[in-house]
Structure 1
Amino acid sequence: MSANEQPTRPMARGRLILAALGALLLAVLIVLGAILPAEFNRDPLGVGKLSGLSRLWAPEDQTVDTTAGAARAREYDTPFRTDVIEIPLGDFMAGADRSELEYKVRMKKDATLIYAWEVIGTSEPRDFRFDQHGHTTPKPGEAMAVSTWKQAFGLKQQGALTSPFDGIQGWQFSNSSEKPVVVRLRLAGFYELIPSGQPGNEAGIVANVPAAQARPAP
């Protein structure tokens, strides 16, 4: 050993233990703060959320193809409108011409209608039947396209429909109770009311007036 060289002294045992504990603590922090959030979506310290490391675990974003299948957004030429139609129906003794009728609205293909109706005057669902359907209004000699949505007994219904063709959409309402009832129908969307006497409104129901004024006398 030359005169200028200094002998290497081993690290004190206490310092060695502290260094080992420090390295172990650092390794634990790296696992908890970086590896777990990035690789396993576990973030016990909250560091992954703050640093953005948790995004490394997340799957890639998926872009929705809005051109495939039913359109999620659409524009219409038909103006938006809302209406309330009160349809009076006689009891079953009044005869079919007073206790049941068909009420529809005119819709373009792919137009949307939001609806809600309820029956006032009876509390027994079996007393009232409805047939929700639609069809085209073809010229003589042309085939008719028909859409049947629901046939059931009940006192209320709400939902939305998109017309599969240019035509009329709506309901056949039938009251078989011992009392007259009123169907209160609320509509909103892109449709046109059908004038009195035309297919879909042969009964001549008038919209946006009280039930007593909504149906012409026989």
Structure 2
Amino acid sequence: MYNTDMPTRAELPSSRKLIRSTLIALAAAATLLVTVVLPAEYAVDPTGIGKVLGLTEMGEIKQQLALEAAADEQTAVLIETLETAETQADERAADQVVDTEKVVSLAPVETAPERTDVVTLTLAPGEAAEVKLTMKKDGIAKYEWVTNQGHLNSDLHADGANKAFVSYRKGRSETSNTGEFIAGFEGVHGWFWRNRSDVDVEVTLRVSGAYSEVKRVL
């Protein structure tokens, strides 16, 4: 049986060729990292090639989805914690007997006055805005928002002192939305919009309910 002859020293690549091949491979890997991987995965585009190829927008979407997934996970943990606290409070209340003869009076519940506002914003392509209402716990707000053209991504959410971010509703590529919500705690509650269309979008928000202030925070 014949075995292949061992290559001679002259047939082996020189050290210079090996170093040159290694440097070429490293340069190619670095080029792919900067022009493809970073824009597509992290929306980092130092050369501008990712934007031309549409990879930067892909990276922005991935980063946004990652943030939204983290927010959803925080919301689920908060809801579970609140439900546990409410169950424990109900159990403690059931073990107590109220002596009605000792109840003299109950303090009135302080609520925010009813008010109505209209807010109009114009967002350029890719631009974002946020409008918040200052509300007491259990306050109710009714709303309607509509665009004049294009479409928006939206997130109706809330946050407050010692309270985690809570999302009431998310929307994608919408031109309008109508509804109402009840404030789960005292803090700021409102809307985040981002213009994902290729035209300027004017959004008009009409809101009414129990809140003390409405303002744009972004």
Which protein shows a greater Rg? 1
Instruction: Specify the TM-score bucket, using the shorter chain as the normaliser.
Output: 0.3 to 0.5
What is the TM-score with the length of structure 1 in the denominator? Answer: 0.47
What is the TM-score with the length of structure 2 in the denominator? Answer: 0.47
Structure with a larger share of its residues in helix: 2
